[in-house]
């Protein structure tokens, strides 16, 4: 493999030959080399690099500044689908818990309005459902009375 000479090296004859298993050398202040087969370990070893970060970088996740707590009561479990979380670009997380073993269907509007219900069937036997997205969420009952508790935590 041949590397083009840099402006600092006027003539191709001044290039040094070294042995190397590499296809490219970065500019580290060394003269430009022609690579052939094996690089001595002292030239191929990792080189220390100074890195500085300007400003303050937090390594901790910032807690949400607001939370809304809502309980939806479905008296028969056959009510029309309803939106339980709006789309929220500043949502930190949402937690959903249901009170019955038969649960409720959760999903996008199209999923819960479908004749054959789609989405996620959340029941009380499961851990509370935790969401970390900004998408809106809809629910529809599964034929029995149910309470659905929703916590929506968000940033200002």
Task: Give the Å distances, CA to CA, from 150 to 11, 63, 81, 123.
Answer: 73, 18, 16, 14
pLDDT in tens, 97-137: 999 888 899 999 999 999 888 888 888 888 899 999 999 99
Rounded CA gap, 14 and 132, in Å?
60
116: domain CATH number? Answer: 2.60.120.770
Domain extent at residue 33: 12-44
pLDDT in tens, 68-77: 899 999 999 8
Asked if 98 and 132 sit in the same domain, the reply is yes
Q: In what order do the strands lie in the sheet with 82-85?
A: 82-85, 137-141, 104-107, 120-122
Backbone φ and ψ for 10, nearest 5 degrees, come out as: -70, -30
Asked if 146 and 73 sit in the same domain, the reply is yes
């Amino acid at each position: 493999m041949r590397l083009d000479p840099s402006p600092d090296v006027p003539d191709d004859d001044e290039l040094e030959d070294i042995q190397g298993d590499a296809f490219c050398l970065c500019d580290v202040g060394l003269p430009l080399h022609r690579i052939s087969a094996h690089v001595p370990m002292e030239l191929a070893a990792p080189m220390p690099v100074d890195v500085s970060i300007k400003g303050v970088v937090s390594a901790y996740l910032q807690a949400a500044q607001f939370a809304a707590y809502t309980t939806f009561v479905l008296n028969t479990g056959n009510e029309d689908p309803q939106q339980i979380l709006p789309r929220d670009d500043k949502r930190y997380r949402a937690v959903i818990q249901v009170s019955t073993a038969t649960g409720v269907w959760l999903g996008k509007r199209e999923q819960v309005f479908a004749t054959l219900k789609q989405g996620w069937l959340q029941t009380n036997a499961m851990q509370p459902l935790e969401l970390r997205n900004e998408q809106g969420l809809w629910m529809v009952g599964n034929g029995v009375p149910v309470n659905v508790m929703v916590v929506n935590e968000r940033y200002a």
